[in-house]
Amino acid sequence: MISLNQISTKSQLPGEYKLKMAILGPEENFKTAFRNRIATGSLSNHNKSIIGVTLSGIKIETSKSTPYAATNIYVSLWDLDCSSRFSMFRVQYYRGSETILVLLDENTLNQAELYYNEILHYNPSISIGLIVLYEGEGFDDTSNIFRESTFQRFEKIYIKQPQETIDWALQKFHQKIKNNVREDSFAIFFLPKSALLGKNPLVAEYHDYACPIDHFDDLNPQRRLNFSHLERLITKLGFPIRGDLVIITNKYGEFNVSLREGNTQFTPKKCLSCKQKCLQQEYICIVASSRGFSSNPGITQAELLVLSKILALQDEALPDHVLKQVLRLEKCPLRTKR
């Protein structure tokens, strides 16, 4: 199975692929009920009390609902504990997520913007769905929270079942593949509380919003990159940019460095002209061992790390930990089998 970063946008979707989603919110029982309604299998909630997360799985057939060939989608739903106890780990679980859902109700609307800002800060491109549970005939935004400028870019959607949020996430995922563009998507879903909880009474226990630690790894920070600053600077340095990628070809092969996510994908040199269909194209890990410095406020440690990757790849001055990964990937799997 493969994820969006590995799907070729020049052809139809492959037979199987996977999508990671995370779910946040100040009331843990609401999130458990959400998982129970849509998941085909779940790990115990006991995991969340130990490591701050528990996982559920969803298998979805899309052959009738999409223009693509018959496809199995495996969704992994990461239910994150949002108490202050696990706030230092929470953002580490975001990595690789295509969609993040935030489950709120009329008592916790004041946390909506806090979660929105947090998610944008730590994710390079993301679909954000705020799910607002309401009681009665309809949602009444007496506080006017969702009329503020922050939420003007959000679609406002009334839904009847939790599954509709998953359908929206899959639609946005398909759009990214079809358009070959990694972009943000935003929606606010208004869902009757009875559609999630049924007639079972529930005494809600809310967490106050717990701000995550901003610099868990100071040398290799996980955060949204300043794309416009990077693009402008790299263009001045003379590097060609294709979309949001810097393409560098050297004696080892071709390296694609993403200016939105900071990751690096490598294709060995012999694969570039090979007629076989087993194209070796994998992500390699490049980490910093010391801090950089910039007088430009738009260029932080995260952007400096991307710039360092590009310069090192161009000069073929690869650290040992990178060179080992490159040499391992240069081994042809077909020739090895022979």
What are the residue boundaries of the structural domains of the chain, listed by start? Answer: 4-197, 227-337
Q: pLDDT tens digits, residue range 282-304?
A: 888 888 878 788 888 778 888 88
Task: Note the CATH number of domain 4-197.
Answer: 3.40.50.300
* Rounded alpha-carbon distances, angstroms, from residue 251 to 132, 278, 281, 323: 53, 21, 16, 12
* Rounded alpha-carbon distances, angstroms, from residue 156 to 102, 127, 147, 179: 14, 14, 11, 23
What is the value of pTM for the model shown? 0.76
Are β-strands 282-284 and 264-268 bridged in parallel, bridged antiparallel, or unpaired?
antiparallel
Instruction: Judge whether 46 and 65 are in contact, CB under 8 Å.
Output: no
Residues comprising the chain, all counted: 338
Q: What is the pLDDT of residue 214?
A: 59
Q: What is the pLDDT of residue 98?
A: 92
In the predicted model, residues of the chain with pLDDT beneath 70 are: 1-16, 61-71, 142-143, 180, 214-222, 277-279, 332-338
Q: What is the pLDDT of residue 164?
A: 95
Q: What is the pLDDT of residue 254?
A: 92
Q: What is 166-188 written as a DSSP string?
A: HHHHHHHHHHHHHHT----EEEE
What's 245's DSSP letter?
Answer: E
Q: What is the pLDDT of residue 226?
A: 86
Q: What is the pLDDT of residue 215?
A: 52
Beta-carbon contacts of residue 316 (< 8 Å; ≥ 6 apart): 250, 251, 252
Instruction: Judge whether 326 and 252 are in contact, CB under 8 Å.
Output: yes
For tokens 């859902």, the residue is 101
Q: What is the pLDDT of residue 290?
A: 80
Our CA angle for 58, 283, 175, nearest 5°, is: 50
SS3 content of the chain, % helix, strand, coil (to 5): 35, 25, 40
β-strand partners of 130: 102, 188
Hey, what are 281's tokens? Answer: 């194209």
What's 330's DSSP letter?
Answer: T
